[in-house]
Amino acid sequence: MSRQITASGKTWKVALDRRAPHPGTRAVVFLCLSDRSYGYRVVEMPAAEIASQDTLDRMASEDVEALYELSQPFDFVHDPKAHENHIGAEPKPRHP
């Protein structure tokens, strides 16, 4: 099971990764549902704070939104029109 939040004007699925990235940690993953061209975001948390998906599901919305704010992009936006310096943008940005 997973929950959803709205952040940065987009809808995100919030789930706990099945594997621990490091001993004693858990990764909270945010997957963009409203725009599939967006990459996912990740924040690592101590396992003592978020032991299971159930813990994440029971967290207050404000706390999950705070986790989103702490998260980092772990992929890139796949839409060439989303950012002028995107690798697929036209015309290609000039580099000095």
Q: Quick one: average pLDDT of 57-72? A: 93
Q: What is the mean pLDDT of the chain?
A: 82
Rounded CA Rg of the chain? 16
Q: Which residues contact 89 (CB under 8 A, 6 or more apart)?
A: 80, 81, 83
Can you give the pLDDT at residue 12?
Answer: 95
Q: DSSP letter string over 63-82?
A: HHHHHHHH-EESS----TTS
Can you give the pLDDT at residue 20?
Answer: 77
pLDDT above 80 (res 78):
no
> Residue 38 corresponds to which tokens in the numbers above?
């967006």
pLDDT above 60 (res 75):
yes
pLDDT tier at 35 (50, 70, 90 boundaries)?
confident
Can you give the pLDDT at residue 36?
Answer: 80
Query: How far is the first Cα of the chain from the last one, in angstroms, to the nearest whole number?
Result: 48
Q: Quick one: average pLDDT of 50-76? A: 89
